Amino acid sequence: MKNDNEMEITPLKNNELVTSRVYRYLKERLVEEHFATGHMLPSENKLAKKLNVSRVSLRQALQRLELEGYIERKRGLGTFVIDRYPNHVEAGIEKLISMSKLIRSRGHEPGTKEIEIFAKLADDRIAKRLGLSKGSPVTLVNRVRTIDGKPLFWDNSIFPSNFLPPTVTASDIGESLFAYVLKQLGMEISHAVARLLPAKADEFLADKLEVPIGTLLIKLDQVHYLEDNSPVWYCNLFYLESDFSWYIVRTR
């Protein structure tokens, strides 16, 4: 594994200045060099100069690599490797984004199956997360989210029932809870507080995710808030560690 300054870059020949050539060259380097997730590539100016190409051609190639899930460009920070194998989904945890949008941006098709919507009374944990009194009515939306038809994570989302009544249907909610909250409730999620925890598949999760009992999972415990810090929904997401991972870019 190499650091930024050790990335071997060979200038392309004049007949290799087209975007597709730049794209193929960089893609090969990303795969062959085995850069770790979070690795920062040289700046666009430096990379374009070393490759002897225009920044326009380079930028178009980088856009394609980003769409395919190999890199992520962060304004003011740089370009980072996020996944040299695009069948494995990775994402920066500092960016709040719809999972459907994220999966689709990596070139895959998101889906939902086994959705279940029902009412219950908030226990201590749920009440604390949503700023409710214990025993307040809440609505649970449980579903398996898929990637190209294969289970990716189990979604246990919980809303105050005055926001999401238990009478809503799967077709009412649609594919994205983010979109439902914005379009149907007229609320725009501003930020979220998330906790990443290790977990293992028990009998229930193993059945839902179609994996052996004891399979390593990543649990995302997250509360979504409006701009005024009012909680809107609380979720527990259990991801297959083999198919999905989070990373964070740390700066000084």
What pLDDT is attached to residue 176?
Answer: 87
What pLDDT is attached to residue 98?
Answer: 84
Beta bridge partners of 153: 145, 239
pLDDT at position 20 over 60: yes
199: confidence class by pLDDT, cuts 50, 70, 90: very high
What pLDDT is attached to residue 5?
Answer: 43
Instruction: Note the pLDDT tens digit of each residue in 136-178.
Output: 999 999 999 999 899 999 999 999 999 999 999 999 998 889 8
Instruction: Note the pLDDT tens digit of each residue in 235-251.
Output: 999 998 878 877 776 66
What pLDDT is attached to residue 143?
Answer: 96
pLDDT at position 81 over 80: yes
Which residue would you say has higher pLDDT here, 92 or 61?
Answer: 61
Name the CATH superfamily, with its identifier, for domain 90-247.
Answer: Chorismate lyase-like (3.40.1410.10)
Measured CA to CA, the distance from residue 248 to residue 80 in angstroms comes to: 11
What is the percentage of the chain residues whose pLDDT exceeds 90?
48
Instruction: Note the pLDDT tens digit of each residue in 200-219.
Output: 999 999 999 999 999 999 99
Tokens of 119: 């009412």
Q: Where are the domains of the chain?
A: 4-81, 90-247
What pLDDT is attached to residue 15?
Answer: 43
pLDDT at position 2 over 60: no
Average pLDDT (109-121) is 93
Instruction: Find out if CATH 1.10.10.10 is the number for domain 4-81.
Output: yes
What pLDDT is attached to residue 16?
Answer: 45
What pLDDT is attached to residue 87?
Answer: 57
Which residue would you say has higher pLDDT here, 124 or 96?
Answer: 124
